[in-house]
Amino acid sequence: MNILKPELFFNNSTGQLSGNSIGEKTARIADLKGIFADEAARAALPQDMLAYHVQYYFPVAEGTEGGLFFGNTTIYPGKVGDEYFMTKGHFHAKGDRGEYYWCIQGQGVLLYMDRDRKTWAKEMTPGSLHYMPAHVAHRTVNVGNAPMTFGACWPSDAGHDYGTILHEGFSARLVERNGKPALV
């Protein structure tokens, strides 16, 4: 019996995935309309500027019950007005599905918001591990001067509800005040 070679690699220092069947998606400034408070500042930036990049591995079809998805996200450093570059943020479409994040490089903040719009924030720093409970929206923010990368693992039937956040937002934002991140 042969011992098979792994077909998938995760680089522990950079978080990058390699191998067959790795998917990639990007979010450019043009894709983030309605996400930041200062729409004029967003519209004034180069629209093809990369805000974040995601690599993912889906070993089963999206929506399959019982599987797990794996990915990484790199948020580039930058601001729209005084608000740091961040992900769109989402609830899971199946709201009772949780998720893990872990920070690989850079300095970030994880924003959580429950269904009552109570928002709280956790520092993300290399090695920090974060559990997202069910029914809690999550958004990540790069508050440093270098790319911030984190890993993610979530159920294959979780799905994404982006609409709620796009229309209602989080009840707090991360902005730079006197050179430091502040939750307002």
* Binding of ligand S6P by 97 (CB under 6 A): no
Contact 32, 39 (CB under 8 A): no
Q: Which of 79, 90, 130, 173 binds ligand S6P (CB under 6 A)?
A: 90
Chain residues in the site for Zn ion (CB under 5 A):
99
Which residues have CB under 8 Å from 7's CB, separation 6+?
A: 19, 20
154 binds ligand S6P per the rule CB under 6 A = yes
Query: How far is residue 71's CA from residue 22's CA, in Å, rounded to a whole number?
Result: 9
Map residue 151 onto helix, strand or coil: strand
What φ, ψ does residue 83 adopt, rounded to 5°?
Answer: -100, 130
What track of x and - describes contact with ligand S6P for positions 41 through 80 (by CB under 6 A)?
Answer: -------------x----------------x-x-------
157 binds ligand S6P (CB under 6 A): no
Q: 110 near 54, Cβ under 8 Å?
A: no
Nearer to ligand S6P, 1 or 157 (CB): 157
Q: By C-beta, is 4 or 71 nearer to ligand S6P?
A: 71
- Report whether 109 contacts 181 (CB < 8 A): yes
Q: Does 152 bind ligand S6P (CB under 6 A)?
A: yes
Distance (Å, rounded) from C-alpha 98 to C-alpha 95? 8
- Decide: helix, strand or coil at residue 75: strand
Considering the complex, state which of residue 87 and residue 107 has its C-beta at the smaller distance from ligand S6P.
87
- Closest distance of CB 59 from ligand S6P, Å: 15
Q: Which residues bind ligand S6P (CB under 6 A)?
A: 54, 71, 73, 87-90, 99, 140, 152, 154, 160
